[in-house]
């Protein structure tokens, strides 16, 4: 196991899942402030070899295939530190951010997940999800350092390792895109606090999407599957209708969801009433 570099916080490991983003990794890895594990989802562009050559302090795990968001789970298993920060191959954490996050986890034993303020691009525009988290109608719960949330960006979140693993991590029903929803639901159902702390900052310089139309279909597919996994049937129906009315991408996404309905039903579990009520409050137009 590589040792943290001098000055880096030994309480936090950064887990980066990647696939065929060699140039993004080359830009982002120098910025990380913590031990780093890169989990490679079957890249064919030489990414693992580049990382080993240019960043010998980074641990590289080659999966040999694309496992989507679940690749991060392996990184968390390997981390062995009490806290784990996720990053994409086009994102990194601001200097000192992980130390501040670790201090907050140390001080708040019920804190399971900390969502950071994510600044986008060289102009450092706050990601729109930050405004939504800041305006969350959920209360600031006692014993937590920020406003409660049930959504986050995976490239800008730090988790308590034991809480993440006990909640199942990311799952292969969703696979990729929107994988945050089911994890947030299960962590909240287990009694962990999830909150937004704008004083902890991550940077995101998004890579161009490989196929924007396919990505839209995938997002709509996973919105339906997330509902099947944990939400009441009325929510499933509402999301399915919304997908069907979203044009060709929505119809493709809905058809893809139907093909994956069996595995989703096999994992279906209803949330505690308080957690479902919190989701409903977030979805109520305000």
Q: Give the model confidence (pLDDT) of 123-167 as tens digits.
A: 999 999 999 999 999 988 999 999 999 999 999 999 999 999 999
The pLDDT score that the predictor gives to residue 7 is 47
What value does the mean pLDDT of the chain take?
95
Asked if the model's pLDDT at residue 4 lies above 70, the reply is no
Of the pLDDT bands very low, low, confident and very high (cuts 50, 70, 90), residue 6 is: very low
Asked if the model's pLDDT at residue 285 lies above 90, the reply is no
The pLDDT score that the predictor gives to residue 1 is 39
Strands (E), 81-124: 83-87, 91-93, 111-120
Asked if the model's pLDDT at residue 272 lies above 70, the reply is yes
Segment 276-285 long-range contacts (CB within 8 Å, at least 24 positions apart): 276/231, 276/232, 278/138, 278/148, 278/150, 278/188, 279/150, 279/185, 279/231, 281/137, 281/138, 282/136, 282/137, 282/138, 282/150, 282/151, 284/137
Mean pLDDT of 101-122: 98
The pLDDT score that the predictor gives to residue 139 is 87
Asked if the model's pLDDT at residue 117 lies above 70, the reply is yes
Asked if the model's pLDDT at residue 244 lies above 60, the reply is yes
More confident call, 280 vs 33:
280
pLDDT in tens, 70-98: 999 999 999 999 999 999 999 999 999 99
Distance CA 163, CA 128 (A): 27
More confident call, 131 vs 2:
131
The pLDDT score that the predictor gives to residue 210 is 79
The pLDDT score that the predictor gives to residue 286 is 62
Asked if the model's pLDDT at residue 15 lies above 50, the reply is yes
Percentage of the chain surpassing pLDDT 90?
A: 92
Mean pLDDT of 212-216: 93
The pLDDT score that the predictor gives to residue 2 is 40
């Amino acid at each position: 196991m590589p040792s943290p570099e001098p000055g880096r916080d030994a309480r936090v490991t950064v887990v980066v899942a990647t696939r065929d983003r060699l140039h993004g990794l080359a830009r982002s890895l120098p910025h990380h402030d913590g031990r780093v594990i890169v989990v490679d989802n079957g890249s064919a562009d030489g990414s693992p070899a580049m990382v080993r050559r240019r960043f010998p302090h980074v641990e590289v795990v080659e999966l040999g295939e694309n496992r989507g968001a679940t690749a991060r789970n392996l990184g968390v298993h390997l981390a062995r530190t009490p806290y784990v920060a996720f990053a994409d191959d086009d994102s990194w954490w601001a200097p000192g951010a992980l130390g501040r996050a670790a201090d907050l986890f140390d001080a708040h034993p019920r804190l399971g997940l900390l969502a950071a303020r994510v600044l986008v691009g060289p102009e450092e525009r706050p990601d729109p999800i930050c405004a939504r988290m800041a305006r969350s109608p959920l209360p600031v719960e006692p014993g937590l350092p920020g406003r409660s949330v049930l959504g986050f960006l995976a490239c800008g979140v730090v988790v308590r390792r034991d809480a993440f693993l006990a909640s199942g991590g990311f799952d292969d029903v969703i696979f990729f895109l929107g994988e945050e929803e089911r994890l947030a639901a299960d962590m909240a159902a287990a009694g962990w606090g999830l909150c937004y702390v704008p004083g902890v900052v991550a940077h995101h310089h998004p890579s161009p999407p490989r196929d924007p139309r396919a990505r839209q279909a995938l997002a709509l597919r996973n919105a339906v599957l997330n509902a099947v996994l944990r939400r009441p049937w009325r929510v499933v129906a509402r999301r399915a209708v919304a997908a069907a009315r979203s044009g060709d991408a929505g119809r493709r996404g809905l058809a893809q969801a139907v093909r994956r309905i069996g595995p989703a039903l096999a994992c279906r579990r209803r949330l505690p009433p308080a957690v479902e009520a919190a989701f409903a409050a977030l979805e109520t137009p305000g």
